[in-house]
A and B are shown apart, each in its own frame.
Chain A
């Protein structure tokens, strides 16, 4: 019953309550859960617990609360055998194996161990009582022995009994029980809720009358908290919800707080290191509490479900409240406790209390789903998850495939493929694969590779899901932790850094500038150019598009956009921007006919540009654009020609040398390309793009060891160049340097630079 205490009230309400108080979210949670279930099946355990319910059960199908009381365990067992689903559920909370909270308690005071029902319970709960009392000193009279407790419990029993019997409850005169204000409030709340349970079929007035009678006997002023039921299909649940909302809004009510802080205090005394650490290993120390902020949106979407799921939602809401309560304690160990994890899952809808069992909801978003999977279920039922956690994949493909398909619904994966996969591919592919393995056609190494790959798969998924926020085209992704924010003149700073060749630093300074002045076209433009030189076309495009919004006629921006799109092999877009360049050019604008602007056809555009070139052959820019245009159409010879013309006019333009080199490389004149790149690098030593291009040229020629060096050099200057990382990996594998894979995957530049110096 002690756990019920915990459920129903904080330290101040150590009085054994028989109803859950909505002011205590935990209690409300319990009731929301219980209120929604109507079967009498035995509950499966909560995480980490095995439920052993003692004795026979008689059927109480109403939402009857617990009727046993702590400390009076024996007495309770004589009077009321553990009954019904509710007791079992709560017994689950507090059985010897102990629901999550009891776990924590136990761990504090002794090493966790699996125990069976029996005398142990009492011992532990007496311990529990002591602790409870110790912590609750200030609120309770020091001498707190049996009698007042017994009296109250019997009194509350009779209230419940009266409910069952349908007999109106009569106020009784009770001896002074020494209830404090907080106690009274608890009892008041709980009674009200409980009354709703018991008298669910009675009228509202009746309920109020009963509760008032009860409270009056206890000398509690119940008026404040009485409220009419809220209209709705689930009045009880909605009421819990609003009450708990009210409670929360008015600041943490004492009881819950007290309990929470007491719990934390108690836990510091103990030695929860082991489990806390193991938990951290499994789940990471990241504050899940912060995830609660996102619950709202998730719940909102879940809220679309039909009424049948209302109970789940209510449960989720309650647990969210509870979690919020608990989250206010910032002790990291506390936050990491399994219990909180459990509650957090409940609130996220990942676990549903369905038919008195805790089940993981399908479609839940679970990164560490394998870990959670293991945590939720008894070990025996999921050997594969066990194995997975221990990095030991089975070679049998069917089993994991089936389980994988069943259990894992990961975000971003098209549902359809799962269905397909489970129906069709499993057999085909798995069979063939199995055959192949059997025939030895693949050889051992490939089978192992596959297993390893799968292990990496989830890591990748983790990484990918984190990295790909905002990675869609055109959305600029700002860096966090920008030291230049707040700088008085970040634009000038950025320009300085750019000139010096410190490209990554320049990026940060320029970001600070555009954060300050989002309409600064020059800031965006320079940012875009810097990204391009840093070999990040995605960000370059995003920045340039912002620049274009601010200043649609800026020629450099348009050219840069054309170049970046060309690099990304997006021909139509590139054409469009290059055409716009022509349109907006003061001299050649006349050549551009408006109808071409929407869907420029390559041939026309090229012709126009040639006309422009003839108009003014001394204009290097026209030739540059022409060069890019020819690259688009893979007219490499003409492109080279154009670039060379431009270079004659502008020999110190490093980006022009790079363009020439890239054109050469793409037309497989890789050796010549390298010469051009060298020129560019002579002019600008920190030109990341040129370094990366060098690497590509070597790789395309099959000179993988060399290419590795250049990639590493490029990455040393810009560790964010994702392309280069991928290319590096390919080169490593081609050069059979698999030993360096790990360094590459973990982006460990130190090792790589030491191993592959230039």
Chain B
């Protein structure tokens, strides 16, 4: 209760500040030049006066020169505090999706600003397209699940291209027919402006889809179908928009214009993809050399993607497709090259930016509603709504009927309903409408667009969740990918490729296999640093998994924890294993261990050296702790045979290429543990990675050495490291290890 009260007061404070500074903004705005002249004059005269009689002003208020960044920062702060606030009201946030709440808040803020007496800011199209949209799309593209996307690519393209064209035509022609009805007062709007309006309003919006679908967790197939469609229809929208705007008041449309339009579509779509791929490859290539300066790795990812977007905007190509292509192409190579911390940074920055963008977009939608003028026409707007809904349903039904003849996994009527219901419109439509030339009935169009957006966001957004529950649509499976699935999927891939070869049929699997081979042979060598270029995918996956486990195990307090979502162990088995894994120490060993720990732990923690912007230095305290852990481990392993260590190669120092992974040791992992508790611990050995390009600088800086699963350099045979969770089968296996 108290926290809610604090939050509310914080919110109110933000709102009041905002209105206040907008107030002063307006009053300054009109007379800014005049005032500036005044102030400088005053300043000079003030100075002279100062020199003579006035005391030096100890406290001054000069808001004008910080106004812009201040207002921007305040808006973002307001948006973030609001987002925070929603989660304090769980009942509200489970019924109403976040986007609705944000639009409402925007309406409230807009209303407040209007009552204060000045114009609230409108969502400007250039701000939207250059600053607010790219983070969301990049976040979507970088983390796009490529496998389901490529498996369903045909379906997605059909929906995106043919579906959008059909929607635009249906709405445009329908509205034209309505406009022709005598007495509606809309006869001035000819066919082409109607078609233009249709093309603006028919595009499914990725921002809205993301905002709503994120919260309902439907199964992967439906999610990727609707989401993929919303991304790929950008090309269609761009072409239609520019084409129709060019030609809308032209005398007549001939075959030439249609052909040019089709050609333009291919240029826009393929050109956008090409630009994205180009920048993606350059980004991957750059990341190959960043091992010496890890701090700026995330920056390259962001900058290259943004450049791809801007470059494609220069040529009026599809910026969204460029961003998606860049993210998808860049990701496998960049992830192989960058450190683990950079990877986390990229992930969290992208999520943060896209979250802020989304919030701002929805709030501004609400504010802009109250800001602009409106021209409400019952007939036009209600017909738009009806045609949009019907057009979408018909389009989806028709396309699915045709597509199901070609698909292996058919789309059920339930799926079709969700796809048609998920056709949400959003801020892209609004911005495109805002950019319209004055020769169109812009205000009417804008009002209609806003109405449709409100309808989809509120009505469809709120009802989709209960509908999903009602229809019992399959939900997203939460489990992580197990190593079983990974192995068997690869196995099946090879098997199917073989069978296709036997049939002589060059299908889907055949080409995928060829692409993989090409990738392995040529591309990986160029774009991935050093040794990791030869690492097979399975090994990389396995190491990622082991790492996650290790982190979980340390974070959870040292008890062996199997991947919970994946393990299908019965409880009985789990307890016996954990019993077996808890080591037993003799009394005197325990005393020795305690003594060592006490000695080492009593040293107070040294202060970190002054922060250097160019390197990330490890905490010096950590080195001591690690050494102590190693000592302790050696002591313990002399006593028992089964210890909990991560698997290590017994081939000594030369760890195979795949074993390098760039985890820095965080201080979190090294909290002092009760030495008496017989908890298994992980030894994390910092050793220099075998990367050719960075061996010199690594040792000095203490930077990013990575976890290398290297053998303990102990000499005695009894300390030979055992396998983690080894097969408790026949005894001769462990004997082998002792002797090898």
Chain A partners chain B: no
Binding site for A on B (CB under 8 A): none
Binding site for B on A (CB under 8 A): none
